[in-house]
Amino acid sequence: MKRITILAGHYGSGKSEISVNLALANQIDYIVDLDIINPYFRSRALGELFEERGIHLVESTIKGMLGSDLPYVSGEAAVPFVNKKLTAIYDLGGTENGGRVLIQFKDRITDRENIDLFYVVNLYRPETDNKDKIIRAIRALECEAQLPVTGLINNTNLMQHTTEAIVMEGQAVLLEVGKELDLPIVYTVIEETHHFPGPFAGETIILSRIVAEKWL
């Protein structure tokens, strides 16, 4: 993993769950929630979990205002861009608009070679269910974020109804997307309950549902 990983994707693509899993697995320093589009999936329990693990959480809410409906980006969100000793994961809001929030850090991003922007795709989400839609969404995101996408994450799933064939269907389409945009599939996400043997493109993330569980 590079020093900074930014995850983007349509809402419901699984960004937040993947961010949390990656953060815990790689013991990064900062996890930054930049989802100011939908302030719904927040939880005190998640904050406590990160604190326990020594990962600093920068929330998209004013401290102590968990139920606030206001978009909010903490000044702290810039810290990992400036302090180059820190490792961090950024979780963007859904749709291409979610990338716009990154523009404010533009002047502070001086080591682009150490930053990855990954695009998360679930082929079974109607807004990204074919190659053309995915390519259009990636280009729109790059315009909004003013940063190039550097990799793809295949999170194709139908929750408990996921089969290995469904994952491979996503992989086939993402390989085509990758060919056209010259992007690798960096991760394939498999929920821990599924035990698919693989192999899959890129590294495999064995996902546990942490956000959903802590929120519900």
Out of 41, 49, 73, 74, the only residue in the binding site for another protein (CB under 8 A) is: 41
User: What single letter denotes the amino acid at residue 39?
Assistant: P
Out of 158, 192, 198, 213, the only residue in the binding site for another protein (CB under 8 A) is: 158
Report in angstroms how near the CB of residue 166 gets to another protein at its nearest: 9
Beta-bridge mates of residue 118: 7, 151
Out of 21, 60, 61, 157, the only residue in the binding site for another protein (CB under 8 A) is: 157
Question: In the 8-state DSSP scheme, what is residue 182?
Answer: T
SS3 4: strand
Report in angstroms how near the CB of residue 113 gets to another protein at its nearest: 35
SS3 40: coil
Edge-first strand order for the sheet with 88-92 is 56-58, 30-34, 88-92, 4-9, 115-121, 151-154, 185-191, 203-207
Report in angstroms how near the CB of residue 67 gets to another protein at its nearest: 5
Look up tokens 């401290």; give the residue: 63
- Told to check if 129 binds another protein by CB under 8 A, we report yes
Q: CB-wise, 41 or 72, nearer to another protein?
A: 41
| Subset of residues 89 to 128 that bind another protein, contact rule: CB under 8 A | 122, 124-126
Out of 9, 39, 98, 178, the only residue in the binding site for another protein (CB under 8 A) is: 39
**Rounded distance, CA 45 to CA 213, Å?**
10
Out of 24, 29, 38, 164, the only residue in the binding site for another protein (CB under 8 A) is: 38
Q: Using CB under 8 A, which of the segments 50-58, 76-84, 106-114, 151-159 binds another protein?
A: 151-159
Picking from 72, 76, 30, the residue whose alpha carbon sits closest to that of residue 51 is: 30
How large is the C-alpha radius of gyration of the chain?
16
**Rounded distance, CA 162 to CA 185, Å?**
19
Q: How many residues bind another protein (CB under 8 A)?
A: 18
Q: CB-wise, 123 or 147, nearer to another protein?
A: 123
Binding site for another protein (CB under 8 A): 11-12, 38-41, 67, 69, 122, 124-126, 129, 157-159, 161, 216
